[in-house]
Amino acid sequence: MPTIVAVDIGGTQMRAASYNTERLEPIKQKKIPTLASEPGGMDRLIQVIEEVWPKDGIVEAIGLGSPGPLDPHTGYLLAPPNNPLWHNFPLAPNIMKHFGVKAYLDNDANLAGLAEYRFGAGKGHHNLLYFTVSTGIGTGVIIEDRLLQGYHGLAAELGHMIVDPNGPPCSCGFNGHLESFSSGPAIVKYVLGELESGTRSSLKRDGTITPREVAEAAHQGDVLAIKAYQRAGEYLGIGVATLLHAFDPSIVVFGGGVSQVGSLLFDPFNDSLKKHVFHPRYLEGLVITRAKLGDDAGLLGARALAEMKLKP
């Protein structure tokens, strides 16, 4: 049977799996620590791939997912923030040279979106927007059944879309990006700033607050915590409204830890989306839903990438 090997390189773990292309479940699966700041990362990656390699040795292609920025056209990692030893690194060419099999690389958020389109919440849709709202905001875009990559391979970095040029600094250093309003750290940063200004809250000004603690406080009626998620939802609505105008999808899929808070985020999001979309036609038939694949999205996306590249 044809076999695909899929790899998901995360900040803390490298995961690999082998798949029979006729089944969703992996044949074998393995994970090891990434240890990104330590030498030997390539050896560890080769090791985890070898752990899932089929006994008959027949693999059609290898799909690789990694945090960006990266160039999917050349297979090079450009400057992954969690992997300083792999800047301007020929990841896919090195894997291809070692295993003698075609290897394809793309951004992990792109691949999570591709996975939801192929196997998850977006199955049956042809135009999809995917958001993971977590430590950052990662996105993937499917247009007419094609993964959007762009000229440089850097398309769909929509968490870095400017929603307010006078807004707070983003993790990337620029001001007013969607990520600087609606990611988990942005929510906490807003709360800490308000506490520093003297706003009263059940949350303590000790710098160790988590987005989950802010959500718990909001559910208990804390006004500042509620306001923090309202603000995050409002700007998320502004961002998605802009993207509806650009891409006109039939479905928007949300994953990531912050999206798990439910109505706390999505009630203000829905209000903001309706307010900022310039014509109600964009919302007719639009599905807004949660991701289905969870932690498997990265591996399944890498698998889908390899399968996509193998098609004539």
**Roughly what angle, to the nearest 10 degrees, separates helices 41-52 and 91-99?**
50
User: What is the pLDDT confidence band of residue 30, given thresholds at 50, 70 and 90?
Assistant: very high
Give the C-alpha separation, 202 to 214, whole Å. 10
pLDDT at 22: 86
Query: pLDDT averaged over the chain?
Result: 94
pLDDT of residue 85: 82
pLDDT at residue 1 tops 90: no
Q: Write down the pTM of the prediction.
A: 0.94
Q: Do domains 3-113+295-310 and 121-291 have the same CATH topology?
A: yes
Fold annotation for 121-291: Nucleotidyltransferase; domain 5 (3.30.420)
- Partners of 140 in beta bridges: 130
DSSP lists the bridge partners of residue 105 as 64
Candidate from 9-13, 124-128, 164-168 with smallest mean pLDDT = 9-13
At 259 the pLDDT is 94
| DSSP per-residue codes, 110-155 | HHHHHHHHHHSTTTT-SSEEEEEESSSEEEEEEETTEE---SSS-T
Domain boundaries, the chain: 3-113+295-310, 121-291
- In 3D space, the residue among 312, 297, 256 whose CA is nearest the CA of residue 63 turns out to be 297
* Strand, helix or coil for residue 4: strand
pLDDT in tens, 101-131: 999 999 999 999 999 999 999 999 999 999 9
pLDDT on residue 205: 79
Average pLDDT over residues 193-217: 91
How far apart CA 218 and CA 123 sit, in angstroms, is 34
Contacts of 106 (CB under 8 A, 6+ apart): 63, 64, 65, 70, 72, 114, 147, 149, 153, 301, 302, 305
Closest C-alpha among 113, 129, 123 to residue 251:
129
Residue 144 banded pLDDT, cuts 50, 70, 90 = very high
Q: What is the pLDDT of residue 218?
A: 97
Give how far the C-alpha of residue 289 lies from the chain's centroid of Cα atoms, to the nearest Å: 15
pLDDT digits (tens, 9 = 90+) for 259-293: 999 999 999 999 999 999 999 999 999 999 999 99
Looking at domain 3-113+295-310, its CATH class is alpha beta
